[in-house]
Structure 1
Amino acid sequence: MVILNEEERVALRSIPANKSLLGRAAATLAVVAGLMASLLTGIADAHGSTTDPPSRNYGCWQRWGSDFQNPTMAQQDPMCWQAWQADTNAMWNWNGLYRENVAGNHQGVIPNGQLCSGGRTGGTRYAALDNPGPWKTVTKPRQFTLTVTDQARHGADYLRVYVTKQGYDATTTPLGWNHLDLVATTGRYAPAGQYQVAVNAGSRTGRHVVFVIWQASHMDQSYYFCSDVVFQ
């Protein structure tokens, strides 16, 4: 599905109404060709996210990307609904939630309550991801394999995987560093389409948030992902 921004809508509206049918068709095709070129460029420049368990915005895109205007989302998936309403680009750009030049000082740069948006990276684009509420969960065993998908094959200096402490309630409390335990950290990964890490959640049960930092290798670029899970 191609979503037109305002500039693109204006371009289509600006095609003179008095053009011949053939002329209007040719002009419309020219605009569409430009849109496709832009879309392909966006894919080439894409980045990545945690895809298993899915990050909040990747999950929203996965479930609703082809049906994002469906009003039943408000009842069936209210947290995705509020995120789509706040800024559709948070889902269309599910692979772009990163900050640059953090220099490893993640806790100093990302404030409590803003971990899922990467400290409001991109202005307010991802801010809705910080909101507590009944985010859709996936069920995982306490020992599982986590997957980060890297569309641009940036490589990774490391992955850090945190899991919330027992008793934290993601439905009522924005995520803070004080809610997390570091459960896995890795070395470098050569550039590839996916990076995986074994995660052991210990004795945790019930609803939790898995928080991932992916430090890309091609430059000082840090990605931050929140995934909602239920441990059996």
Structure 2
Amino acid sequence: MQTRTLTTPRGWTLRVLAPLLAAMLGLLLFPWANTAQAHGSVISPASRSYGCWERWGNDHLNPAMQQQDPMCWQAFQRNPNTMWNWMSLFRENLRGQFQQNISNGNLCSAGDAQGGLASSLDEVGAWRTTSIRNTFTIDLYDQASHGADYIQVYVTRQGYDPTREPLGWDDLELVTQTGRYPNQQHYVVNNVNAPGRTGHHVVYTIWQASHLDQTYFICSDVNFTS
């Protein structure tokens, strides 16, 4: 975290200190708050939590975020640990029964996993996008090298509007399912093909880790430019 001298009025200083104190309290309240380094997530195209952390992690108290990146702003206000633990959004012991255990409207939070750690990621709005073509690559970073039994990549159907509609299973089309990956830190899925899409969509990645029945659910906002 960067150290900055505040020369603002006292009222603004208090508004800055409040989220900082909330973040510190969150680290005490949530047992997984220091476990982000033990897991992984999609870094390209950036997941919602990783993108917010990448853009604002060193400047998360900047009030300009509210205007420049309002969806990240609401996420930081609700729970800064969503971003500090961007690698930790998983569920255990689902036995592949994903749709039965994660309800529509709660896909990006993995069904309010980890005590609601990432509930803010389900919010509907103009999330920042990564521009990609209809054939693209997924880069999933696994700091702990758990391995992967498989990775599934879904993309929202043409006509779905992420800025107005919560994400449901019926909005998604499975476009790729991989085989196994050995224990390593990057699982790259090449030549993911989602034809017929233009504009803002959601790429939904499901990573089934190999070390135990642990599954990660990841929303990435993209803009198809082809």
Normalized against structure 2, the TM-score is what? 0.85
What amino acid maps onto 1:226 in structure 2? C
Which residue of the partner structure matches residue 203 of structure 1?
196
Which residue of the partner structure matches residue 31 of structure 1?
none
For residues 180-191 of structure 1, the aligned pairs below 5 Å read 180-191=172-183
Of 57, 66, 71, which aligns to 2:63? 71
What amino acid maps onto 2:199 in structure 1? G
Listed one character per residue, the Cα deviations across residues 50-97 of structure 1 (whole Å, up to 9, x for unaligned) are 100000000000000000010000000000000000000000000000
| Cα distance change, pair 206–128 in 1 and its aligned pair in 2 (3 A) | same
Which residue of the partner structure matches residue 225 of structure 1?
218
In 1, the alpha carbon distance for the partners of 2:26 and 2:45 equals: 36
3-state secondary structure, aligned to 2:100: helix
Identity of matched residues, %: 54
| 1:169 equivalent in alignment to 2:165 | no
What amino acid maps onto 1:215 in structure 2? Q
Q: Return the offset for 1:5.
A: 2.6
Which residue of the partner structure matches residue 21 of structure 1?
none
Please, which runs of 5 or more residues in structure 1 have no aligned partner?
10-38
What amino acid maps onto 1:100 in structure 2? E
In 2, the alpha carbon distance for the partners of 1:176 and 1:202 equals: 20
Which residue of the partner structure matches residue 92 of structure 1?
84
Q: Return the offset for 1:42.
A: 4.0
In 2, the alpha carbon distance for the partners of 1:59 and 1:70 equals: 16
Listed one character per residue, the Cα deviations across residues 202-229 of structure 1 (whole Å, up to 9, x for unaligned) are 1211110000000000000000000000
| 1:124 equivalent in alignment to 2:113 | no
Which residue of the partner structure matches residue 49 of structure 1?
41
For residues 111-150 of structure 1, the aligned pairs below 5 Å read 111-150=103-142
Partners of 2:153 and 2:204 within 8 A in 1: yes
Partners of 2:26 and 2:81 within 8 A in 1: no
In 2, the alpha carbon distance for the partners of 1:197 and 1:205 equals: 21
Which residue of the partner structure matches residue 60 of structure 1?
52
What amino acid maps onto 2:60 in structure 1? F
In 1, the alpha carbon distance for the partners of 2:26 and 2:79 equals: 17
Runs of 4+ in 1 over 2 A off after TM superposition: 1-9
Partners of 2:38 and 2:144 within 8 A in 1: yes
What amino acid maps onto 1:186 in structure 2? T
Number of residue pairs matched?
202
Give the greater-gyration-radius structure (CA): 1
| Cα distance change, pair 7–81 in 1 and its aligned pair in 2 (3 A) | closer
For residues 149-164 of structure 1, the aligned pairs below 5 Å read 149-164=141-156
Q: Return the offset for 1:6.
A: 3.9
In 1, the alpha carbon distance for the partners of 2:27 and 2:164 equals: 40
| Cα distance change, pair 219–135 in 1 and its aligned pair in 2 (3 A) | same
Please, which runs of 5 or more residues in structure 2 have no aligned partner?
3-19
In 1, the alpha carbon distance for the partners of 2:52 and 2:130 equals: 13
3-state secondary structure, aligned to 1:145: strand
Normalized against structure 1, the TM-score is what? 0.83
In 2, the alpha carbon distance for the partners of 1:69 and 1:175 equals: 29
